[in-house]
């Protein structure tokens, strides 16, 4: 916060992740601790899951399988070629879910290192910050999703097909439509990353505010709400990535995607381009 | 001071539109569910995507107000 008038404010809000220590050019921030923690939880979970696997799953295994089953059910109905990208989508989902929920553990925002700056102002730098409350993390995930759906789109329709998609249908409208389509491609990157970051960061600020205002029972309600939001945001990110990849793959196959193989795209077929023409009238 | 006021206005005004949009989306989804409970699986994914896209507008307002507080001020 800029210029707190002398007194310490009750709520500590930092929009950027804070440095814990610096090794050369690498600033080791507290959100990196959160990301490493989330990866460790997922790796250990996977290892434990592997070891305990059996035909008749126990209660714990069944509980862990629930979100995976939910996502798997949704992804496998999204497109006929879901096997190619289900691993990526489930990876997004689990990583974001764990990264979001790590922020709700007790002690995450409160245990920290006291840092005294040049003016003698004391601030507490938390050791762990949930990774998805850092724009770098969410932007990284969004770049992975972006690169993958462009890659799959080019693989499915060819570079020419992808360029045709960007240019739009009436060829003479290209000077107008090409920049618009290009911007709309990149706006997916921005909106994917900003949505996740904004939600999780706003959730952190909301919790901090509520704990500062009414420390006893009220924050529990908001903690429950944040558990729900963490789940919904992980779901939303994974589903949007899935939809983008699904449309990129199926663009030129139209309604009869299940019947046709890879080779027979319909480059000259005008009625398959209806959706890309529609924005001109808006 | 000025930018704090601007941030509050940006967030408050920016929340109106997404709020209305989310209300419409949720009410229509519930209506559809009430009419045809078996369709819950088919409604779920478009519903989540729709509310995510409506909510993104609110998040843009949040980003603007965060920029006003932390960057401009």
Q: Where are the domains of chain B?
A: 2-72
| A13, containing H or E segment | none
Report the distance separating Cα A47 and Cα A63, nearest Å: 16
Q: What is the pLDDT of residue A254?
A: 44
Contact B12, B65 (CB under 8 A): no
Tell me the mean pLDDT in the region A105-111. Answer: 79
Let me know if B67 is exposed, middle or buried by CB neighbors in 10 A (0-12, 13-18, 19+).
middle
Contacting residues of B for A243, CB less than 8 Å apart: 49
- Residue A239 has its nearest CB partner, among B49, B60, B69, at B49
Q: What is the pLDDT of residue A270?
A: 42
Contact A124, A112 (CB under 8 A): yes
Q: What is the mean pLDDT of chain B?
A: 88
Residue B48 to residue A239, Cβ atoms within 8 A: yes
Rounded to a whole number of angstroms, the distance from the CA of B56 to the nearest CA of chain A is 6
Q: What is the pLDDT of residue A11?
A: 65
Model confidence at A115, pLDDT cuts 50, 70, 90, reads confident
Report the distance separating Cα B37 and Cα B43, nearest Å: 10
Tell me the mean pLDDT in the region A242-254. Answer: 74
Among A261, A73, A20, A249, which Cα is nearest to A157's?
A249
Whether the per-residue pLDDT at A31 is higher than 70: the answer is yes
Q: What is the ipTM, given to two decimal places?
A: 0.77
Whether the per-residue pLDDT at A266 is higher than 50: the answer is no
Is residue A7 in some structural domain? no
Q: Which fold has domain B2-72?
A: F1FO ATP Synthase (1.20.20)
Residue A239 to residue B55, Cβ atoms within 8 A: no
Alpha helices in A14-122 (DSSP H): 30-52, 59-76, 86-102
**Please, what is the Cα angle at A26 between A22 and A30, to 5 degrees?**
65
Whether the per-residue pLDDT at A246 is higher than 90: the answer is no
Model confidence at A1, pLDDT cuts 50, 70, 90, reads very low
Rounded to a whole number of angstroms, the distance from the CA of A268 to the nearest CA of chain B is 30
Q: What is the pLDDT of residue A251?
A: 56
The answer to whether the pTM exceeds 0.95 is no
Residue with tokens 């764990």: A98
Give A147-207 as a DSSP string.
HHHHHHHHHHHHHHHHHHHHH-SSGGGHHHHHHHHHHHHHHHHHHHHHHHHHHHHHHHHHH
Q: Above pLDDT 70, what percent of chain B? A: 97
Q: What is the pLDDT of residue A215?
A: 80
Whether the per-residue pLDDT at A265 is higher than 70: the answer is no
Rounded to a whole number of angstroms, the distance from the CA of A182 to the nearest CA of chain B is 19
| Each residue's pLDDT tens digit, A137-184 | 999 999 999 999 889 888 888 888 888 878 877 778 788 888 888 888
Rounded to a whole number of angstroms, the distance from the CA of A188 to the nearest CA of chain B is 11
Q: Above pLDDT 70, what percent of chain A? A: 84
The domain containing residue A237 runs over which residues?
Answer: 19-281
DSSP type of residue A8: P
Whether the per-residue pLDDT at A257 is higher than 70: the answer is no
Is residue A197 in some structural domain? yes
Write the CB contacts of A282 (distance below 8 Å, at least 6 apart in sequence): none
Whether the per-residue pLDDT at A276 is higher than 60: the answer is no
Among A240, A256, A258, A260, which Cα is nearest to A248's?
A240
Q: What is the mean pLDDT of chain A?
A: 78
Report the distance separating Cα A79 and Cα A90, nearest Å: 15
What residues in chain A have their Cβ under 8 A from chain B's Cβ atoms?
Answer: 1-2, 15, 74, 78, 191, 194-195, 198-199, 201-202, 232, 235-236, 239-240, 243
- Residue B49 has its nearest CB partner, among A194, A201, A240, at A240
Is residue A104 in some structural domain? yes
- Residue A240 has its nearest CB partner, among B52, B59, B66, at B52
Is residue A10 in some structural domain? no
How many folded domains does chain A comprise?
Answer: 1
Contact A147, A88 (CB under 8 A): no
Model confidence at A267, pLDDT cuts 50, 70, 90, reads very low
Report the distance separating Cα A222 and Cα A210, nearest Å: 8
Contacting residues of B for A235, CB less than 8 Å apart: 48
């Amino acid at each position: 916060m800029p210029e707190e008038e002398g007194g310490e404010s009750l709520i500590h809000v930092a929009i950027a992740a804070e440095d814990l220590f610096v090794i050369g050019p690498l600033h080791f921030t507290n959100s990196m601790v959160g990301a490493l923690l989330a990866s460790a939880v997922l790796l250990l979970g996977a290892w434990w899951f592997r070891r305990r696997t059996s035909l008749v799953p126990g209660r714990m295994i069944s509980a862990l399988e629930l979100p995976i089953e939910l996502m798997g059910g949704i992804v496998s109905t999204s497109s006929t070629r879901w096997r190619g990208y289900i691993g990526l989508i489930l990876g997004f989902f689990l990583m974001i879910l764990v990264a979001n929920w790590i922020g709700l553990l007790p002690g995450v925002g409160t245990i920290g290192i006291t840092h005294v700056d040049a003016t003698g102002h004391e601030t507490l730098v938390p050791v762990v910050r949930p990774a998805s409350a850092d724009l770098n993390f969410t932007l990284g995930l969004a770049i992975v999703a972006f690169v993958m759906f462009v890659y799959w789109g080019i693989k499915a329709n060819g570079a020419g097909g992808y360029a045709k998609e960007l240019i739009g249908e009436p060829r003479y409208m290209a000077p107008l439509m090409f920049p618009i389509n290009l911007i709309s491609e990149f706006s997916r990157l921005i909106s994917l990353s900003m949505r996740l970051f904004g939600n999780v960061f706003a959730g952190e600020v909301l919790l901090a505010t509520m704990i500062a205002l009414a420390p006893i029972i009220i924050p529990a309600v908001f903690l429950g709400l944040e558990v729900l939001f963490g789940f919904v945001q992980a779901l939303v990110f994974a589903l949007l990535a899935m939809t983008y990849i699904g449309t990129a793959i199926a663009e030129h196959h139209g309604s009869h995607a299940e019947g046709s193989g890879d080779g027979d795209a319909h480059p000259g077929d005008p009625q398959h381009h209806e959706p890309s023409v529609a924005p001109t009238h808006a | 001071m000025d930018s704090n006021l601007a941030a509050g206005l940006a967030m408050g005004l920016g929340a109106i539109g997404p709020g209305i949009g989310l209300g419409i989306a949720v009410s229509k989804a519930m209506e559809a569910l009430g009419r045809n409970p078996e369709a819950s699986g088919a409604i779920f994914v478009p519903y989540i995507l729709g509310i995510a896209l409506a909510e993104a507008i609110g998040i843009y307002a949040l980003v603007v107000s965060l920029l006003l507080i932390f960057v401009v001020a």
